[in-house]
Amino acid sequence: MQSRRGGRLGFMLALWVWATVAWADATLDQAKRYLEQKNPKAAFELLLPLQSQRAGEIEYDYLLGIAALDAGDAQQAVFALERVLAVNPNYLQARAEIARAYFVLGERDSARREFQAVKDSGQPIPPEARESIDRYLSALAPQQTEFKAYIEVALGYDTNTNSATGRSTIALPAFGGAISTLNPLGVKQGAWFGGLSAGASVSHPVSEQVALIGSAQYGGKFNQHYADDFDTQQVDLSAGARWGRGDDSILGIVQGQRFWVDNNTYRNSLGGTAQWLHNFSPAQQMTVFGQYAALRFPDQPPNDANRWIVGIGYSQAFAAPYAPVAYISVYGGEQKETNGNFSWLGFKPYGARIGGQLSLNERTLLFSGFSYEYRTYNGTEPLFLVRRRDNQYDVRLGLTYTFAPKWSLTPQVAYTNNDSNIDLNSYDRTVASVAVRRDF
């Protein structure tokens, strides 16, 4: 997002130097000053109320077009710049700006045509503007099928491989508070582990706006021998389509997952995700999403459930040292049990996530994240005679160092604390690892 913003502002300033318009009056002079100060919204608000009186004046329409475009109203920019070109078809600055407006609107053929017309005009173009035009034309070139893949190995230590309580005994209210000794497999166990993951994805454009997408991923975590009862593996498959035009894109995919514990199938999942992404600017994005999954547990059918989640997220890139990027999202939903006789196994989750990253240098990216989820369960737990409530906190910190082209090293640490009103379900967990990844 940051590079796109830099290219956009550089393009506007290059065209500004290129322009030779004689500004007609104080209003236009003030609008020009706002634009030079990188305040297009103020220029747009100054000029727009005058449109009924001044539409048709080349200088006014040109400034209005630039202000509208950089204030986020590309359609208004097209209207204004079309008026300029209707009077003077050879006004290359206006033609370049309308090309940029078409690009923002997702009208790729029109944008490509106008950029090419500027480039082939035979008139002198400043090097900065020509470079920007070339970048746009490169981005507008017919899209190719894209294939990506990776493989990653990791080594680490997990303080709680089975996400279990640290208590060895627990009181059971359903039996008058009798103290029960837990099976050792149900008590917190720490262990060293090795990890292996790999994945591949493909994107195939079928038109200027639509692409078919698919992916396959595998992940495995293998603990020290005394904790290998909690080895996990999973395979994820997805297929769908992405539509994009201008500042908006929509993603729809079908997803399937199989999850193993100790080489036995623990859970199967089949569902999908729908997502709408809107770019307020090259540095600001909003996402609205919905997810559904049918969860089935072959050996524990009472756990079968249908899960849905809806949420909204926002991310922001900043023009500051280390190119910081921050994000926040909130969500809510329900994991509804399929068998009403086991209502205490279903729950409603509500949560929030915040995080960000800093580019310490060209090779090193520092990242962190924090999430919180509150879960309220649907029925009274029969052994503990209360309705379960969980508050789960997760913190993650790490960095990725690219030590060679397509090779990266990622040390990270993650901490989880699940605070439950049922002691059996309260636990904490710290996982520290170092991973080496190769991208293809």
Q: Band of the pLDDT at 347, cuts 50, 70, 90? A: very high
Percentage of residues of the chain with pLDDT beyond 90: 69
Q: What is the torsion angle, in degrees rounded to the nearest 10, for the CA atoms of residue 133, residue 135, residue 138 and residue 139?
A: -110
- Does the pLDDT at position 16 exceed 70? no
> Is a pLDDT exceeding 60 seen at residue 19?
no
Instruction: Say yes or no: domain 2-139 is CATH 3.40.50.740.
Output: no
What CATH fold (topology level) applies to the domain 146-439?
Answer: Porin (2.40.160)
* DSSP label of 277: E
Bridge-based pairing state of the strands 305-317 and 347-359: unpaired
**Residue 108: pLDDT above 60?**
yes
Q: What is the pLDDT of residue 92?
A: 87
For the chain, what percent of residues have pLDDT higher than 70?
A: 94
CA distance 369 to 415: 11
Model-level pTM?
A: 0.71
Q: For 333-372, give one letter per residue: b (16+ CB within 10 A) or e.
A: bbbbbbeeebbbbbbebbbbbebbbbeeeeebbbbebebe
**C-alpha torsion 93→94→97→101, nearest 10:** -170
What is the residue whose two structure tokens read 């605070």? 419
The yes-or-no verdict on residue 2 having pLDDT over 90 is no
Q: Is 98 exposed, middle or buried (0-12, 13-18, 19+ CB in 10 A)?
A: buried
Compute the mean pLDDT over every residue in the chain, rounded to the nearest whole number. 90
146-439 matches 2-139 in CATH topology: no
Q: What is the pLDDT of residue 153?
A: 98
The pLDDT tens digits for 206-230 are: 887 899 999 999 999 999 988 899 9
- For residues 205 and 106, the model is more confident at 205
Rounded Cα–Cα distance for residues 156 and 413 (Å): 9
pLDDT single digits (tens) 118-169: 888 877 777 777 788 888 887 777 678 999 999 999 999 999 999 999 999 9
Q: Where are the beta strands (DSSP E) in 93-190?
A: 146-158, 169-172, 178-181
* Domains of the chain, residue spans: 2-139, 146-439
Distance separating alpha carbons of residues 128 and 122, to the nearest angstrom: 16
45-63: pLDDT as tens digits: 999 999 988 998 999 999 9
